[in-house]
């Protein structure tokens, strides 16, 4: 069960993570696909599980999708929002999730990651959402 107070405590980190990962561009604009990627993260965790979801978001996009925004930036933003145990980028958070074998620790990590994604989802909506087809990667 999500605790709103825990999510609220992540707002400042989430906002800074959106800026640091360049999901939010110079004029405080966000490419619309990032809003969808972040909004879809939680349902993906419920449907697929935390390990496959994080792995899928970190995967290299196909050659024909190189012009699309990168889902990996979402994992990067989650890592920067949480800043837990030196997992401050997408690769280190992926390794932490994949290598966790203790069920209870994995559940705790999953809850923290989903809480961070909810904070990002709320904070991204404070910015202007662009519907442009091209964006920075």
Query: Mind listing the pLDDT tens digit for each residue in 56-113?
Result: 999 987 766 666 789 999 999 999 999 876 778 899 999 999 999 999 999 999 999 9
Q: How many domains does the chain have?
A: 1
Residue 16, both tokens: 């800074």
Closest CA to 40 of 4, 71, 64: 71
Please indicate, yes or no, if residue 46 is contained in any of the structural domains: yes
32 and 131 Cβ atoms separated by less than 8 Å: yes
Find the domain containing 103 and state its range: 4-130
d(CA 103, CA 131): 40
d(CA 49, CA 45): 5
What DSSP line would sit under 54-71, residue for residue? Answer: HHHHHSPPPGGGTTSPPT
Please indicate, yes or no, if residue 135 is contained in any of the structural domains: no
Query: Mind listing the pLDDT tens digit for each residue in 12-61?
Result: 999 999 999 999 987 889 988 999 999 999 999 999 999 999 999 999 87
CATH of the domain at 11: 1.10.520.30
Helix (H, G, I), strand (E, B) or coil at 7: helix
Please indicate, yes or no, if residue 108 is contained in any of the structural domains: yes
């Amino acid at each position: 069960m999500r605790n709103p107070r825990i999510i609220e405590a992540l707002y400042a980190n989430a906002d800074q993570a959106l800026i640091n990962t360049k999901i939010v561009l110079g004029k405080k604009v966000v490419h619309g696909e990032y809003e969808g990627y972040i909004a879809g993260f939680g349902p993906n965790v419920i449907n697929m599980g935390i390990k496959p979801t994080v792995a899928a978001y970190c995967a290299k996009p196909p050659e024909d999708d190189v012009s699309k925004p990168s889902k990996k930036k979402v994992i990067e933003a989650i890592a920067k929002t949480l800043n837990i145990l030196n997992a401050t980028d997408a690769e280190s958070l992926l390794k932490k999730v994949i290598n966790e074998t203790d069920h209870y620790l994995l559940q705790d990590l999953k809850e923290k990651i989903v809480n961070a994604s909810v904070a990002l989802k709320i904070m991204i909506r404070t910015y202007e959402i662009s519907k442009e087809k091209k964006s920075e990667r």
